[in-house]
Amino acid sequence: MNSNQLRQLFLSFFEEKGHRVLPSASLIPDDPTLLLTIAGMVPFKPFFLGKKEPLYPRVCTVQKCVRVSDLDKVGFTRRHHTFFEMLGNFSFGDYFKKEACIFAWEFLVHRLKLSEEKLWVSVHEKDEEAFHIWKDVVGVPEEKIVLLGDEDNFWASGPVGPCGYCSEIYFDFGERLSCGKPECKPGCDCDRYLEVWNLVFMEFDRQSDGSLRELPRKNIDTGMGLERIASVVQGVDSNFETDLFLPIIEELKKRSGLDYHSSTLPFFRVVADHVRAVTFLIADGIFPSNEGRGYVLRRLIRRAYRYGRKLGLEKPFLYELVFKVIEIMKDFYPELVDKSRLISQVVFQEEEKFDLTLKSGLSLLEEMVSKARKEGLKTVSGREIFKLYDTYGFPADVAREVLQEEGLDYSDEEFKQEMEAQRLRGKKAFQEKEQALRDYKALEEALGSFKSEFTGYDSLEGESKILVLLSKEGFCDQAAQGEEVFLVLERTPFYPEKGGQEWDTGFIIAPQGLARINRVFLVGESCIVHQGRVERGRLQAGEVVVARVDSRRRRMLAIHHTCTHLLHRALRNLLGEQVKQAGSWVGEQGLRFDFAHFAPLTEEEIKAVEAEVNAKIFEDLPVVVSYTTLEEARRSGVIALFDEKYQKEVRVVRVLGYSAELCGGTHLTRTAQAGLFRIISEGSIGSGIRRIEAVAGPLALERFQKDAQLVKSLKEAVEIDESQLLDKVQGLLEENKQLKKELTQFKRQATVDLVRQKILESKERVFSHLFSDASLDIETLRPVFDELRDQPLSRVVVLGMEKEGRVQGLVGTTGQLVRNLDLKKLVKEALKVSGGGGGGRPHLVQFGGVPRDKWAAFVEELCRLVNRESPE
């Protein structure tokens, strides 16, 4: 049975049991406590917490997941992965332990035809109910039910949130994979007993203080790794031998020419695993960066590329391997086919960038080798290797390989000390982030039960009651002048920060006071929190107040948000439908729009995009809001900007006849209300991601006016008509370029003349000269050697240039008597005295990195070596 059949059999089985089949959610979770979707239950967390009403009491999914907590084990064990698929069935207050156990056993034994003799069960040592269900209802022999503790049989989604006892089903692979210990049984670290299914009995909600609170209703969350159950059904010892991985490994074997055997086996597995994760992360809109999800992706690409090098793959290869992943997974994830070009291009750019990192790192490593030899050391500083790894991304194991080729090594102890110091810094940062999450959780616990009705789509002002008032000390009955407050209203026109749009500001006007609202944000699903300061009098909980939004700020937010929709459509029209929004920010002072594209926009393209947006503004198109189901929105071609898979109703914003997107923000009613649109800048913010910054409305008019004033000032400065201004400026630039070229040629000739004269006057066999002119470069010196090569006098010429305390330059020969010298070898030896590095041809060598105060020592040592090799 192949993996596609397994997925379908699972979903069909649970559909027969009354479950609604739902698609996989994105790898980007709608959860501030999680970086990535790490389990099948993540999309359903609000249902487990009772904060959101599920559409169906029973559902089942095949959920794509990514975890990097055990990254160092991936490829070196049979089962660890970064990307994996979790088969899961869920109950939201419907059935509980008994049905969950019966369903799982029936699927494994009767649908997959697994031998009952091979199956074992574990339960939490305190969960007597689950023990008796397995023994008395399902009929599992008591000796095959293992009692385990919290480490094995208590499941949690994170530091806070849903959790509960769990029961696991194991498959026994037999004695051949056993550790041989008499006490070997499920829970042992060996490969004999494979955990294939985890049934989580969701009973508790872990609070920010670590305490367990019973959930409003009992739930079931199960997870069975597709990769694991595939290995069982397909009769192989490792997940990597299943049809999910084997075609990738076969492709790697073909490319590398190596066999998949014990010594190279982990390398094949690491690459095969990581390329799957990389493919799905990019498909879900994650792009390489130096933080968050983007850093996870970058790290996986680099790690896979490094292990590819161990297989002899010395140039980018992952970008082609993603097509093998897509071929394997396309039947169940057809969206991969549509995004294949995007995925491949992102990976290729990242591979190329990392390849350059490796090459530049090698240059720095050579300097370390030179320094170590000069000082007579056999080891390089571990701190320097860590810096190379931490700052430049140069792998420590590659550094060790290079050093060993030179008969050197680096200090493991120093490297580990630096790594530990970084780990402690990272731990501190994590603790600070975790505390922030706990603070958010505490606020959610305090306010999550309150609900606010948002009225701001239709009105910017309205009466409402203060449901709750908080100061820094906690809940309070009233707040006086000068106090910072958080308050929740029964109804509010204030739009909270979400969907990339900034929050509204304004005032809360009370019978005996007034508060200025500076920030508005969401807690939970529907509690809108107003943060501000009491400027006059006092506010009191329970009183009726007037909430008034700053209309000018709201207007600018609506202008810029509407323009992001116009901009998105214009980009897709002009650059292609593959353009995908990767993020946005909408503020009072402008907008930022991030999108996937693999080349800078030309000036013509920028002008065309700007012109199309303005054309739609001038057409005065109606902006219409409607509500529908997600399925209907997709059928009608609406662009989804965020994941609303499990929402019953979605909000659609249409610019009639032009664009349609899912969006919850505030907008204009007609495009002409935006006035004008102006692109300020366009540039890269990461591999394959571009950013446009723009302004609209009054701010766009100001920008056009400033540009007009600049043109006027330039026209007056060069005293020419506006129609000829561009030609004039281009002429001046060309003239300046020509003058610079002539000046460079003059300097080069002057240098040649100076050196030629000094060589003719010198009686030394090794002639040296140090230039202090900062405008000179290596290319200026090369013609000197071209002109001196055929001089009758035999000389070794050393020309250096001082820049920022270091000397770089060239060493070459003239005449015939010293043509037998290998300058490359001599210069490398002389640099051991002074430090620095060099390389080139036997009769023309480039060097660099020589400290200014070691210049004389370098020349003296080179002179000694020349005389030794070619005495007069």
Binding site as annotated, residues for Zn(2+): 561, 565, 663, 667
Distances (CA, A) of 859 to 102, 409, 478: 85, 30, 82
CB 280 within 8 A of CB 342: no
Closest CA to 117 of 167, 174, 78: 174
Q: How do strand 379-380 and strand 409-410 relate by DSSP bridges?
A: parallel
Measured CA to CA, the distance from residue 42 to residue 31 in angstroms comes to 8
Contact 478, 538 (CB under 8 A): yes
Write down the residue that tokens 């202008």 correspond to.
559
Residue 74, burial from CB neighbour count under 10 angstroms (0-12, 13-18, 19+): buried
8 Å CB contact between 20 and 67: no
Quick count: other Cβ atoms within 10 Å of Cβ 87?
A: 25
Name the H helices within 239-376.
Answer: 246-256, 265-283, 292-310, 318-329, 335-338, 340-374
CA 73 to chain centre: 21
* Residue 163, phi then psi, degrees to nearest 5: -165, 175
- Write out the binding residues: 561, 565, 663, 667
Buried/exposed code over 291-302 (b: 16+ C-beta within 10 A; e: otherwise): eebbebbbbbbb
Structural contact between residues 704 and 677, judged by C-beta atoms closer than 8 angstroms: no
Do the beta carbons of residue 695 and residue 561 sit within 8 Å? no
For the four alpha carbons of 751, 757, 759 and 763, in that order, the dihedral sign comes to negative
Select from 126, 142, 152, 118 the least CA-distant residue to 134.
142
Q: Say which amino acid occupies 722.
A: E
Q: What are phi and psi of 146, to 5 degrees?
A: -105, 135
User: Cβ-count burial of 38 within 10 angstroms (0-12 exposed, 13-18 middle, 19+ buried)?
Assistant: buried
Cα distance from N-terminal residue to C-terminal residue, the chain? 83
CB-based contact 429:397 (threshold 8 Å): no
Q: How far apart are CA 307 and CA 246, in angstroms?
A: 17
Q: Is 739 helix (H, G, I), strand (E, B) or coil?
A: helix
Q: What distance in Å separates the CA atoms of residue 10 and residue 295, rounded to the nearest whole number?
A: 34
Residue 565 neighbours by CB under 8 Å, 6+ apart:
653, 655, 659, 661, 663, 667
Beta strands in 632-739 (DSSP E): 639-640, 650-655, 659-662, 677-686, 689-696
Q: How far is residue 14's CA from residue 104's CA, in Å, rounded to a whole number?
A: 10
Cα(829)–Cα(823) distance, rounded to whole angstroms? 10
The closest alpha carbon to 699, from 681, 677, 682, belongs to: 677
In 660-684, which positions are buried (b, 16+ CB within 10 angstroms) versus exposed (e)?
A: bbbbbbbbbebbebbbbbbbeebee
Helix (H, G, I), strand (E, B) or coil at 128: helix
- Report the DSSP beta bridge partners of residue 148: 124
The H-assigned helical ranges of 41-149 are: 45-48, 97-106, 128-132
**Non-local CB neighbours of 246 within 8 Å, separated by 6+ positions:** 240
DSSP 544-569: EEEEEE-HHHHHHHHHHHHHHHHHHH
DSSP state of 483: -
